[in-house]
Structure 1
Amino acid sequence: MEENLPAQNPKKHKLHGAQDIHGNSKCLGSLPDVVLLHILSFLPTKDAVRMSVLSKKWEYLWTSLPHLWFELTLSDNKRLFMNFVERVLCLHHADIERFTLSCELPCDETRVNLWISAAVRKNVQELSLSLNQDRTFSWPKCLFNRATLTKLYIKIPHLGRLPHAICFSSLKILTLARVEFVDERSIQKLFSGLPVLEELYLVHCSWKVIEFPSIFAPRLYFLKILTLERVEFVNECSRMLFYGLPVLEELYLVNCSWKFMSISAPRLKFLSITELRMQELRDCQIMIFGDSLKEYVYSGPLLTDYYLHKNLSLEKADIDVFPSEMTLKGSAYRLYKLLTVLCNVKHLTLSDEVVKVLWNAPELLPYLPVFNNLLDLAFMGLKVDLSYVGLLRILHNSPCLRTLTFVQGINCLLVCDEDDWILDPMPSCFKSHLKCIKVLRYTGDERELSAVKILLKNAVALDKMVISWCLAGELVSEKQILCERLLKLPKGSRNCEIVFE
């Protein structure tokens, strides 16, 4: 690792625009210091220091960098790395806006504390620490009472020993990653010293001994955004997890595990739940209350029963399911219950797997809810088959639908000359409200053409059909042929216009 620094005493030079042999200012040389420093801030500090050899003007520019970024990998020389960090901090003479320290190898605790203390003394505003230290690690006391700190990221196996007095008077964003909480008293002190926290992210953490209510309520009064990723809830305390979050607006649950959870946040507006792994097959339940909830996002195998309060004023929902063959039937019943409580949404996005899951429980199709308020319906994922009974049932139950979008295109596997029966009876929205159909990633094969033909012929109130190509590299002549075929299709609406994108 080349970490050589200039031997001279650092001086802040007044940088003049460099000129070429014709007397014209060079573009890079004529940039002001603040712009050059901003550019260098996107580089690791060792690379920014190496830039000093480019010209006399750049020689000491790195000593004013607003962002210091140090990274120790497994292949680096740890001794050279630690010496380099200390020399940079010694010669650096400006305030630090962001300080990033990432060490895959454990470093000397005393020296790490000195680096953190140096950043704190330089009025650091955003501090990111990714350390591989043991559970006996002791933090510098000055870190926990710094008024300038607004954003803190800590990734460490164990929080270690925390000071008795903690007060992050200006901290608004806190991220704790891969932390095992084993000392309940220390973590309670940490959360009690966050008077203005607005965003909290807990990523891959273990909470096996912590009582959530005693941590949160009522200490996080200003918390607006909370993310929990790979958090395991193993005790009854998770029943009241969000009791002490009166102004929470956004909640993200990513790949967490639980038996039962109750979410009751009066100002919660956005809720996202992602289950990326196949959890243990067991009866799991989540109760969701919140009169202010406007948007709900779910992605996962649907192994959990979600009970949303029926009086929710949801406006938007995005549902993506991918169950295994073993759980198809159970997922279909859970999906039915979830769609039932989402019946009042105005904007709904479903994955292609949703209609496939419903196909595995045909006995539920007659009882699917009516989406009286639904205005925009979109299908994500793979190409959706127009002949799927689940899709047709949802269209029949959306009488006020205005816009229908197929993000990854559409197919009709039942290609035949007499295909009117597919939309027989015709959904009521096709006769009165449906004004726009969007078919994206169109390739022009016969199955797609058949689906578009059916939609154009039956949507008698349609004003516009948008076709977005998935043929960027094809010949213009081939696209022209496809366009002509589409334009010749019969239309049920005299006012319908086909728009190509």
Structure 2
Amino acid sequence: MSNEMQEEHHEGEGEGVEESDTKICDLPDEVLQLILSSLSTKDAFRTSILSKRWVGLWKEISKIELEEGGHEKREQFLDFVPRLLQVFDCSNLKKFFLSCEVGEDAPQINQWLHGFINPTEIEELKLDLKGIEEPLVFPDHLFTCATLTKFQLCMNHIFQIPSPVHFVGLKNLILENIIFPDSSTTQPFFYGCPCLEELALLNCSWVNVKSVWIPSPLLQKLIIQEGARDYYDDDDNTLDDDEDDVGGQISNFCNIVINGNNLKSFSYDGDFKNVYSLYGSALVIDAVVKVQEREWWDEGRYIDVGYSVFSFLKGLSNVEKLHICGVALLAINCTGTLLRHLPLFRKLVELRVGYLASPIELSCEALLIVLRKSPCLQVVDFLGGVSLPKDASLGPLPICFMEHLKKVAIYGLHGYSVEELLAIKFLLREASVLEELNVFSASLPKERVGKRKKGNGGDGDSGGVTIVVEDG
């Protein structure tokens, strides 16, 4: 290229491009505070050494995150937070997150909660409090805060609930490991949350509550998890993980009634230590029902659990996606007469069955009835594998096998069991519109992993089904 052409080329490179000399220090305070709010609280605090202008900027950020980090940093943490509270302007604070060990410092933690939580501005509050030795006292103004939209509380202790409770704007509530004090304060708490759209009750203890009604007309998503035990120890006000369920019986159970006419998503994972009644669930399209089996369960307990599972399923007739574990299906089997009263799942298109490493028999009566009552089913995932005993009788085939079932996935296949192979052969033979079978196995020989086979519809082959074998 000639010098003349090079000059012309360089002259034209900058045309239409306007260079900007804007630096971060030229941005308005409001923008800088948004940037600082995206940093960790300690990093935002450190910017005060940059210049005189930055000294006050961090004091008005909208988010504070305080995490102890570890026992070796506790002394530094306990020193930093009070100094922060002394100089920080909480009038603009919209998001406050605190995660720490409480121990013997409950009075100091109480001061932090009262200081940082501004009832006229706070929108999101997340508290993860461990090792509580005496009750924490939450500021009364928190429970009548009109601006709070998201509240997450995790603590293995009694939740001291004042009166009144009036969360007019609260949409997302997550309660984890807390111990509800009694019926007289727990019931008004849920009455005071009329606008909830998402509710998660994770391993909470209801031993002090006989019954509670949760009226949530706007609720769209509900998650319930229950741990292995639900005992209350009077000496330390914490859940006692060392006691066994005496004599195989559950004591101190709570009747929990949930009314959610707009509920779209529902998930239960636990051992039904409490009795749940779900009303207004006709709009649920995505549901999970998992049961945690206990060693001490006898036949009577399986029947009780079966009735609880049935109670959930009868309210989920319009579900489109359903995940149900094998224990839940076996429990319904134990009830006998309830099987024929399961609802018709007219809209169910995707069914997930079982847990990882927990295979289910294809001849399980409850599973077969669910399949027969799901005429539009298109996808089935066996998450823990599937088998078929040699002399099993499956009765009439589900309609979906002949009209809609297009895809089956089997996880955790061993590949050496005759019962596993019989189940696969049955699916390939009887699911006449099946298009794809995915098999995930960690124990199959490597040369068999990843291979695909497409049948041509001849006798004994897969009838045009694509078979995919993957490692997993």
The 5-angstrom pairing of residues 208-287 of structure 1 reads 209-211=160-162, 214-217=163-166, 220-236=167-183, 237-258=185-206, 259-279=210-230, 281-282=250-251, 283-287=253-257
What residue in structure 2 maps to residue 498 of structure 1? Answer: 467
The 5-angstrom pairing of residues 414-425 of structure 1 reads 414-415=389-390, 422-425=393-396
1:455 equivalenced with 2:427 (yes/no): yes
1:101–1:233 Cα change, 3 Å: closer
CA contact (8 A) 1:487 1:498 kept: no
The 5-angstrom pairing of residues 275-354 of structure 1 reads 275-279=226-230, 281-282=250-251, 283-310=253-280, 312-324=282-294, 325-326=296-297, 327-354=301-328
1:159–1:443 Cα change, 3 Å: farther
What residue in structure 2 maps to residue 91 of structure 1? Answer: 49
Letter aligned with residue 428 of structure 2? L
Give the Cα separation in 2 of the matches to 1:161 and 1:498: 58
**What are the superposed Cα offsets for residues 25-56 of structure 1, whole Å, 9 maximum, x if unpaired?**
xxxxxxxx99xxxxxxxxxxxxxxxxxxxxxx
1:473 deviation in Å? 8.7
Give the Cα separation in 2 of the matches to 1:247 and 1:118: 35
Letter aligned with residue 214 of structure 2? I
The 5-angstrom pairing of residues 92-131 of structure 1 reads 94=54, 95-96=57-58, 100-103=65-68, 104=71, 105=74, 112-118=81-87, 120=89, 127-131=96-100
1:348 deviation in Å? 0.7
What residue in structure 2 maps to residue 201 of structure 1? Answer: 152
TM-score normalised over the length of structure 2:
0.71
CA contact (8 A) 2:264 2:285 kept: yes
CA contact (8 A) 1:243 1:264 kept: yes
The 5-angstrom pairing of residues 65-214 of structure 1 reads 67-68=39-40, 91=49, 94=54, 95-96=57-58, 100-103=65-68, 104=71, 105=74, 112-118=81-87, 120=89, 127-131=96-100, 132=102, 134-137=105-108, 156=109, 158=110, 162=114, 167-178=118-129, 187-192=139-144, 194-204=145-155, 206-207=157-158, 209-211=160-162, 214=163
Secondary structure of 1:355's match? helix
1:338 deviation in Å? 1.9
**What are the superposed Cα offsets for residues 171-209 of structure 1, whole Å, 9 maximum, x if unpaired?**
32101233879587x6322333x3322110111154454
**What are the superposed Cα offsets for residues 43-87 of structure 1, whole Å, 9 maximum, x if unpaired?**
xxxxxxxxxxxxxxxxxxxxx9973566xxxxxxxxxxxxxx9x9
1:357–1:189 Cα change, 3 Å: same
> RMSD across aligned C-alpha pairs, in angstroms?
3.9
Structure 1 range deviating more: 263-272 or 391-400: 391-400
Structure 1 range deviating more: 103-112 or 397-406: 103-112
1:470–1:247 Cα change, 3 Å: same
CA contact (8 A) 2:322 2:352 kept: yes
Give the Cα separation in 2 of the matches to 1:134 and 1:500: 56
Give the Cα separation in 2 of the matches to 1:65 and 1:428: 56
What residue in structure 2 maps to residue 464 of structure 1? Answer: 435
1:479 deviation in Å? 3.6
Give the Cα separation in 2 of the matches to 1:65 and 1:279: 39
CA contact (8 A) 1:289 1:308 kept: yes
Give the Cα separation in 2 of the matches to 1:123 and 1:473: 59
Structure 1 range deviating more: 278-287 or 98-107: 98-107
1:298 deviation in Å? 0.4
1:351 deviation in Å? 1.5
1:435 deviation in Å? 2.6
1:225 deviation in Å? 0.7
What residue in structure 2 maps to residue 360 of structure 1? Answer: 334
Give the Cα separation in 2 of the matches to 1:311 and 1:198: 24
What residue in structure 2 maps to residue 404 of structure 1? Answer: 380
1:264–1:90 Cα change, 3 Å: same
CA contact (8 A) 2:176 2:203 kept: yes
**What are the superposed Cα offsets for residues 348-403 of structure 1, whole Å, 9 maximum, x if unpaired?**
11122222323433343333333233222111302222122221122122222222
Letter aligned with residue 257 of structure 1? S
Structure 2: 5+ residue runs without aligned partners? Answer: 1-22, 25-35, 232-249
CA contact (8 A) 1:206 1:232 kept: yes
Secondary structure of 2:193's match? coil
Letter aligned with residue 196 of structure 2? L
Give the Cα separation in 2 of the matches to 1:176 and 1:121: 17
1:102–1:338 Cα change, 3 Å: closer
Give the Cα separation in 2 of the matches to 1:188 and 1:295: 32
CA contact (8 A) 1:178 1:203 kept: yes
**What are the superposed Cα offsets for residues 116-160 of structure 1, whole Å, 9 maximum, x if unpaired?**
3445589877554445462432xxxxxxxxxxxxxxxxxx4x457
CA contact (8 A) 1:377 1:405 kept: yes
Letter aligned with residue 305 of structure 1? V
1:174–1:425 Cα change, 3 Å: same
Secondary structure of 2:139's match? helix
1:408 deviation in Å? 3.2
CA contact (8 A) 1:430 1:458 kept: yes
CA contact (8 A) 2:321 2:349 kept: yes
Give the Cα separation in 1 of the matches to 2:129 and 2:77: 21
CA contact (8 A) 1:238 1:260 kept: no
Identity %: 25
CA contact (8 A) 2:455 2:465 kept: no
CA contact (8 A) 2:452 2:468 kept: no
What residue in structure 1 maps to residue 238 of structure 2? Answer: none
CA contact (8 A) 2:352 2:382 kept: yes
Give the Cα separation in 1 of the matches to 2:265 and 2:318: 12
Letter aligned with residue 338 of structure 1? F
Secondary structure of 1:242's match? helix
Secondary structure of 1:178's match? strand
Give the Cα separation in 2 of the matches to 1:397 and 1:222: 41
Letter aligned with residue 436 of structure 1? K
Give the Cα separation in 2 of the matches to 1:318 and 1:438: 18
What residue in structure 1 maps to residue 399 of structure 2? Answer: 428
Structure 1: 5+ residue runs without aligned partners? Answer: 1-32, 35-63, 71-84, 138-155
1:198–1:65 Cα change, 3 Å: closer
Give the Cα separation in 2 of the matches to 1:159 and 1:489: 77
CA contact (8 A) 1:443 1:469 kept: no
Letter aligned with residue 171 of structure 2? K
